[in-house]
Each structure stands twice: as structure tokens, then as C-alpha cells.
Amino acid sequence: MANVCFLLAGGYEDSEMKNPYDAMNEAGHKTVVVGLEKGTELKGKKGTAAYTSELSISEVKADDYDAVIIPGGSAPEALRVSDEVVEFVKQAHEQGIVIAGICHGPQVMISADILNGVNSTSYIGIRDDVKNAGANFLDQEVVVDGNIITSRTPKDEPAFIKEILNKL
């Protein structure tokens, strides 16, 4: 089974964390919630989900994982300003590890400079940012390009989860 890292900060879109997290666990994969600090309670923006970071970003190495999942909401904005998060995502990409971002999740990919020349999608509010990062923006429920998987909104979660599971 695969080791799956969820990069998380407070203010994430509840279902974009809960549904992929539950699906990975149900499929038998080993999941870990990684935050900026270990042991922090991270609440979703709608208040229907809460997770505690099991490891801090300074404790993890990209090659320990088979996939990195970045839920949307306002959490990616908090994550992308961390040099350690950006370096972790860069290293994961260089190693061909699955990197999946939904909604605002691609903001972290933008900061890691891994979307140049990649087919990608995102929440429409960051569409121009994705394009400016060099990606070919596609308005589709899920876009898979190599090891990168992106989706737009909570309604796209079933397709997003399916493609992550397919890659694993």
C-alpha cells in the first residue's frame, strides 16, 4: 500500500480534506497529516472537519511518500509561504511522486514552480495564477498530467479521488 501525505493548514475546504483522506484510508493506504508544526489542531473553514498534524514539514522527506495531496480553501495560501513546504513539493515532483491539488491546492504547486508546461485546472479564482505559472489551464473536473493531478471544486472530488487511486 502507498504512503500518502496530506499537506494541511487551518482554513481548508472541509470536504476536500475529509473525502480524499477517508478514501485513501478505505483503500488501505497509510495516510499522514503534515502541517507547519506537529500537534496542531487544524480546522476546516466550515467547521465540519478537524485534524491534528501528525508531523511537521521539517520532519518529512519527499521520498517517504507515494503521493502528496493538497486540499483547497485558504490553507494553501498559508502553506505556500513556507520555504520548507515549497522545497518538499519541488523534491516530490523531481522524484515523480504523485502531487494532487484541488481548488486552491495548486497555489502550492505554483510556488514550487512545477506547473510550467503542465496541463492543469484549479478553482476559477486562481485560474490566472495557474496560467501565469506557465500551465495550460483546462476547465475540467480533473486533469492528469504526468504525476500532477488537479481539480476545481468540491463537486469534482469523486473524479479527483478516482484519479489519485488510479495512480497509486
**Cα–Cα separations (whole angstroms), residue 159 to 18, 40, 144:** 15, 30, 11
68, 41 contact by CB (below 8 A): no
- Taking alpha carbons only, the member of 99, 102, 93 closest to residue 121 is 102
pLDDT digits (tens, 9 = 90+) for 40-60: 999 999 999 999 999 999 999
Q: According to the model, what pLDDT value does residue 92 have? A: 98
pLDDT at res. 54: 98
Mean pLDDT calculated for residue range 5-10 = 98
Give the model's pLDDT for residue 41: 97
The residue-averaged pLDDT of 68-75 equals 98
The Cβ-side half-sphere exposure at 12, using a 13 Å CA radius, reads 33
Q: What is the pLDDT at residue 91?
A: 98
Give pLDDT, residue 165: 98
The catalytically annotated residue of 5, 29, 93, 103 is 103
- Rounded to two decimals, what is the model's pTM? 0.98
Cα–Cα distance, 51 to 148 (Å, whole number): 25
pLDDT of residue 66: 98
pLDDT exceeding 90 applies to what percent of the chain? 100
5 is catalytic: no
In CATH terms, the fold of domain 3-167 is: Rossmann fold (3.40.50)
Cell of 166: 488510479
DSSP character at residue 135: -
Q: Residue 131 burial by CB count (10 A; 0-12/13-18/19+): exposed, middle or buried? A: middle
How do residues 100-132 score in pLDDT, each as one tens digit?
Answer: 999 999 999 999 999 999 999 999 999 999 999
- Tell me if residue 103 is catalytic: yes
